[in-house]
Amino acid sequence: MMLEWLRGLDQNSPPTTSPHWKQSCGNGLGLMSKLALFGRPWVVFDPMSKDHRYHFHLFQSTGSWGKCPYRFVVDDDHGDLVTMIQRALIQYYTNKEFGSVVEKQQTIRPKRKRNG
């Protein structure tokens, strides 16, 4: 729901005059904080982005997202952000090392004719 609200936000008008702001927060005392408008941008974690991988490394090292310039979006089919990122990184590094998931084709040798 929040992502839909962010997508509909009119980027050219000040936040308090946007119809979406008035609809979701009324007089500004509603559910969302003004910090949501001026906070770090929402992005989908991309394991191919060296910057995204670096900020996840910082999180793993420090236990804090404080230095990360993004807020990563969690997909509906994942329970939490860290698990989602770990799965994406496993898939990325597995594909990088072994290639995409392609079945190995067995080479079948033709039968030899027996003489005699």
Report yes or no: 24 and 31 within 8 Å, Cβ to Cβ.
yes
Nearest to 53 by CA among 78, 79, 90: 90
DSSP label at residue 29: T
In a domain, 72, yes or no: yes
Q: pLDDT per position in the chain (116 positions), as tens?
A: 444 544 554 444 444 444 444 444 444 445 566 666 778 889 999 999 999 999 999 999 999 999 999 999 988 777 899 999 999 999 999 999 888 755 555 566 677 777 75
Q: Which domain holds residue 46?
A: 40-100
State how far the Cα of 77 lies from the Cα of 32, in Å rounded to an integer.
24
Q: State whether 58 and 84 are in the same domain.
A: yes
Let me know: does 85 contact 72? Beta carbons within 8 Å: yes
d(Cα 53, Cα 90) in Å, to the nearest integer?
12
Specify if 107 maps to a domain.
no
The answer to the question of residue 115 being in a domain is: no
Is 0.75 surpassed by the pTM of this model?
Answer: no
My answer on whether 47 and 74 are in the same domain is: yes
Same domain? 96 vs 62: yes
Any domain includes 111? no
